[in-house]
Amino acid sequence: MGNVLKTLVLITVCFCLTTRPSLAGGIFGFDLWGSREDSNADVIVDPVHYKVRIELPDSDSSFLSDLEAASLLIGKQETAPSGTVGLIQRARDDWANLVGKLYELGRFGATVEIFLDGRPLDNISVTETLGTGGRQVEVVIAIDPGPSFTFGRVALEGSPESVGRDAMAGAGLVEGEPASATIIYKAADAVVLAWRREGHPFARIANQKIIADHASRTVDVTFDVAPGSYATIGDATVSGASALDPDFILQQAEVPVGAPYHPDIIARISKNLKRIDALGSAIVKTGDHVDAAGRVPLLIEVSERPPRTIGAGGFLSTTEGVGGEVFWLHRNLLGGGEKLRIETTLSREITSNSYDDIDTYSGRIGFQYEVPGVYGPRVDWLARGMALQEHVHPYERKGFVFETGYAYRMTDELTLTGTVQYDWAHIVDAYGSGDFSLVSTLLLAVYDSRDNALDATSGMYARLVAEPQYATNSGSVFFTSDAEVRLYQALDDEGRFVLAARGKAGTIAGADLNEIPAHRRFYAGGGGSVRGYDYLDIGPSVPGYGPTGGLSRVEGSLEARLRVSDTIGIVGFADAGYVAETSLLGGDDVFQVAAGLGLRYYTAVGPLRLDVAVPINPRKGDPDFAVYFGIGQSF
């Protein structure tokens, strides 16, 4: 298949360095070490098998699917109960369950009768023997839903109605509207939440009166509300922390002591704590009382993750080569959530025959270090450095990079980052060879409102880069700006059909193409760009050498993602990209377009991705199609 077929396989295995007597488990349902045996399998004594059906008046047959889904007798039919007493108990539980379901449907006058072998349930003794000789017991559930009810009088007692009235109406509890037990439950919760948002952490429904009038077919609802004391946020205490400093946890939590109590504050504290990578879990609770100062204390219960992780990964591609990675990560180096990652990678092109030639390999060794909360809880200090060698189709590079700066989390969605970077490289490309020494300032803004980074169904991701760069060896100054936007929209309530779109645009100004180091130019093509084309192969090229990169780029992708089952999904996609030799998208190149189909297998850690892409307007030498494997959606 040669250059026609491209495959990419990424396998990452992480081992937590904790003390365990054995290592056993599985990935995606496959046992990797040892085998599983269910030594405590349930054994049913004297099983009674039965067949069951629901009988409804023809005029109410629309309820049948809802009632069948709610029925315990139907849902557990494949699991036989133990003896007559087991069947009777299941039937009694189902009676209560079905009555509750009918109340949810607004049928407060409904009747439910259950018959076993033609006899009413209440007439059968637990000492009898049913289903002897393996015979199935015939179970009939006879239901008369009765008429629909509407809400009658709706009232609040024990507190001013001004707080809870709108909450009840928002839940659907309004006089004259269709009645439902579900609406009553939601309205009760809404009233309590409304009071808690007014600063009353212990608000509750002290009593509720629900009266169904069968003559008028109405349901009167009265809530007796006990708001409790008004309170402000008090001090927080941390439990469960051992290696992690409790003061650091409190700093990151951002507890607004003295602010009026509000449930959103508790939710925001929980969200802040989830950003601490060293924590496995964090639960924020209110204390059980309001103190003499009118404050309610907070309790933060945490558990810590294993601090150290070793990971290994690998990849294989007929066009991008074969390689691997090893890393070591510490999530809490000094007790304040400091993260240190040390990693090394090594790869090479498959087509090269010079296995003993070190110049044909790509690799790096480097570190990343993060210190959270250096200037308040929202400012982190970042540092990274690496020595590297790249051997890719457009260029060869040897050098090192060091970068340091700060990240500021302005809001839950918006993060601003500013760093200073020094980059030294020896480059060999279509324009010759030379040394480059760059000093740059990277300004980065990231907005992320996605509901799931690996498999988004709603929200937006936007990334804006501005980077002035100074070449100390030549004295030239140039400016790079780059932007990316991703949008996600589900077309159904369950998020099974999602439209996703991505757009990229960038430009470099202030210098000619041959003055820009090759690794700082724009490229397109490959699995993370325009699928169906060779890696970094779209754009200007030099005859006899290949792609050179460009000074401007535009890319776009559209995907229609359909999840056909809990584990399987299909995707149709189209990609397009253009790289120009000038800063304003000039030149003779055209947009390269590709289309394809994808398969997704959904797992707990994200979807496994298989994409097959075909170039729509291929150039001479472009592959006929390309295949990609990965973890997570393509964007």
Each residue of 388-418: pLDDT tens digit? Answer: 999 888 999 999 999 999 999 999 899 999 9
pLDDT band with cut points at 50, 70 and 90 for residue 85: very high
**Is the model's pLDDT at 33 over the cut of 60?**
no
What is the Cα–Cα distance from 388 to 399, expressed in whole angstroms?
6
C-alpha distances in angstroms, 92 versus 6, 102, 112, 325, 330? 61, 16, 11, 60, 55
**Is the model's pLDDT at 36 over the cut of 80?**
no
For the record, the structure tokens of 578 come out as: 């253009």
pLDDT band with cut points at 50, 70 and 90 for residue 321: low
**Is the model's pLDDT at 2 over the cut of 90?**
no
Cα-Cα-Cα-Cα dihedral sign, residues 18, 24, 28, 32:
positive
What is the Cα–Cα distance from 81 to 77, expressed in whole angstroms?
9
pLDDT band with cut points at 50, 70 and 90 for residue 63: confident
- Which helix H or strand E contains 313, and what residues bound it? strand 308-317
* pLDDT for residue 320: 60
Q: Is 317 helix (H, G, I), strand (E, B) or coil?
A: strand
Find, among 353, 362, 343, 237, the residue nearest to 287 by Cα: 237
Residue ranges covered by each domain of the chain: 50-144, 150-226, 232-300, 404-631
Backbone phi, psi, residue 21, to 5°: -70, -25
The DSSP result for 499-524, as a single string, is EEEEEEEEEEESS-GGGS-GGGSB-B
Find, among 206, 199, 205, the residue nearest to 229 by Cα: 199
Packing angle between helix 181-197 and helix 161-171, nearest 10 degrees?
Answer: 140
Question: Model pTM?
Answer: 0.75
CB 215 within 8 A of CB 230: no
Q: Average pLDDT for residues 511-522, to the nearest whole number? A: 93
For the record, the structure tokens of 34 come out as: 């040892």
Q: Average pLDDT for residues 565-592, to the nearest whole number? A: 89
357 vs 550, residue with greater confidence: 550
* pLDDT for residue 26: 34
* pLDDT for residue 268: 92
Q: Which class does domain 404-631 fall in?
A: mainly beta
CB 340 within 8 A of CB 369: yes
The alpha carbon torsion through 449, 454, 455, 457 (nearest 10 deg) reads 0
Count Cβ atoms below 10 Å from residue 433 Cβ, excluding itself.
10
C-alpha distances in angstroms, 478 versus 66, 405, 466? 66, 21, 11
Q: Is 92 exposed, middle or buried (0-12, 13-18, 19+ CB in 10 A)?
A: middle
| Homologous superfamily in CATH for domain 150-226 | membrane protein fhac (3.10.20.310)
Find, among 420, 427, 408, 538, the residue nearest to 469 by Cα: 420
Backbone phi, psi, residue 34, to 5°: 75, -160
What is the Cα–Cα distance from 469 to 482, expressed in whole angstroms?
14
Average pLDDT taken over every residue of the chain: 87
C-alpha distances in angstroms, 253 versus 238, 271, 330, 499, 508? 10, 8, 21, 35, 41
Q: Is 119 helix (H, G, I), strand (E, B) or coil?
A: strand
Least confident of 25-34, 309-318, 320-329: 25-34
What is the Cα–Cα distance from 98 to 70, expressed in whole angstroms?
7
* pLDDT for residue 316: 63
CB 114 within 8 A of CB 91: yes
* pLDDT for residue 202: 95
Each residue of 155-190: pLDDT tens digit? Answer: 998 878 788 889 999 999 999 999 999 999 999 999
What is the Cα–Cα distance from 541 to 523, expressed in whole angstroms?
11
Q: Average pLDDT for residues 241-248, to the nearest whole number? A: 93
Cα 245 from chain centre: 28
Second CATH level (architecture) for the domain 232-300: Roll (3.10)
* pLDDT for residue 359: 75
pLDDT band with cut points at 50, 70 and 90 for residue 319: low
* pLDDT for residue 24: 32
pLDDT band with cut points at 50, 70 and 90 for residue 318: low
262 vs 590, residue with greater confidence: 262
Q: Average pLDDT for residues 232-247, to the nearest whole number? A: 94
Count Cβ atoms below 10 Å from residue 551 Cβ, excluding itself.
28
Each residue of 342-391: pLDDT tens digit? Answer: 999 998 876 656 667 777 788 999 999 999 989 888 999 999 999 999 98
Residues 6+ apart with CB under 8 A from 76: 90
Q: Is 588 helix (H, G, I), strand (E, B) or coil?
A: coil
**Percent residues over pLDDT 90 in the chain:** 68
Rg over CA atoms, the chain: 32
Tell me whether domains 150-226 and 404-631 share a fold.
Answer: no
Q: Average pLDDT for residues 27-40, to the nearest whole number? A: 37
Cα-Cα-Cα-Cα dihedral sign, residues 453, 457, 460, 462:
positive
Each residue of 416-470: pLDDT tens digit? Answer: 999 999 999 999 999 889 999 999 999 999 999 999 988 999 999 999 999 999 9
**Is the model's pLDDT at 517 over the cut of 90?**
yes
* pLDDT for residue 132: 78
**Is the model's pLDDT at 3 over the cut of 60?**
no
Backbone phi, psi, residue 509, to 5°: -125, 150
Tell me what percent of the chain is helix, strand and coil, each rounded to the nearest 5: 15, 45, 35
CB 139 within 8 A of CB 73: yes
Q: Average pLDDT for residues 13-37, to the nearest whole number? A: 34
For the record, the structure tokens of 226 come out as: 């006990």
